[in-house]
A and B are shown apart, each in its own frame.
Chain A
């Protein structure tokens, strides 16, 4: 049963701490998306990778956020330092290739206090 796996599912951290979220895309998928979902802003695209290369991270605050794909089975999203306004649900999704549907993980619910 192929699925996108995100860890952790929940994270509570103090302001100023580093947060790392991990995503295992579906094996064989070559596109990976990171989204942030809040009530106010909805689903915002933070970063988009194809074949492990970042194609678009224009939606990501560069001063504190970074996204990488160390290998084809792992994508990471880091926030350093974290702030209360970063509290949101962060979703990772993967796709077989460009212009196809995306398969979503269950999300990481981040609370920064």
Chain B
């Protein structure tokens, strides 16, 4: 079952614009992660934010986490055509000894040159 739900399902922007994707989840989490998937390829980890963190940066990526609203956002600044891909959030639940990584359905980003 999906834990995270991304919004929007699809996003089309021009090169140079910023892209913002949102993720909502249902349970308490240990951490939330964002992944990227190019068509026909495996997923690649982008960034991990822990439940006690509110914001994290990595290059042109900025991730925020609001645990009170159970939501996260991924911002890609100054987008490039090469950023065209699907982006997924994934969560690991808090507590217990599991560590299951549960994915949402993703946002399909298209960056037009």
Task: Quote the shortest CB–CB distance from B4 to chain A (angstroms).
Answer: 10
Pairwise interchain contact B2-A42, C-beta atoms closer than 8 A: yes
Query: Closest residue to B31 on the A side, CB-wise?
Result: A99
Distance in angstroms between the alpha carbons of A44 and B2 in the assembled complex: 7
Assembled-state Cα–Cα distance A20/B33 (Å): 30
Contact B43 A91, beta carbon cutoff 8 Å = yes
Query: How many CB-defined contacts (below 8 Å) exist between A and B?
Result: 63
- B68 close to chain A: CB less than 8 A: no
A21 to B97 alpha-carbon distance, docked (Å) = 27
- Interface residue tally on B, bucketed by range: 20 to 34
Main secondary structure of the interface of B (DSSP, over half): strand
Interface of A is mostly: strand
Distance in angstroms from A102 CB to nearest chain B CB is: 6
Q: Which residues of B are found within 8 Å of A93, using beta-carbon distances?
A: 42-43, 101
Q: What number of A residues sit within 8 Å (CB to CB) of B?
A: 25
The interface stretch among A63-71, A74-82, A103-111 is: A103-111
Report whether B101 and A45 are in contact in the complex, using a CB–CB cutoff of 8 Å. Answer: yes
Q: Does B2 contact A50, Cβ atoms closer than 8 Å?
A: no
A56 contacts the other chain (CB 8 A): yes
Give chain B residues whose Cβ lies under 8 Å from the Cβ of A50.
99
- Chain A residues packing against B (C-beta within 8 Å): 4, 31, 33, 35, 42-43, 45, 48, 50, 55-56, 59, 91, 93, 95, 98-107
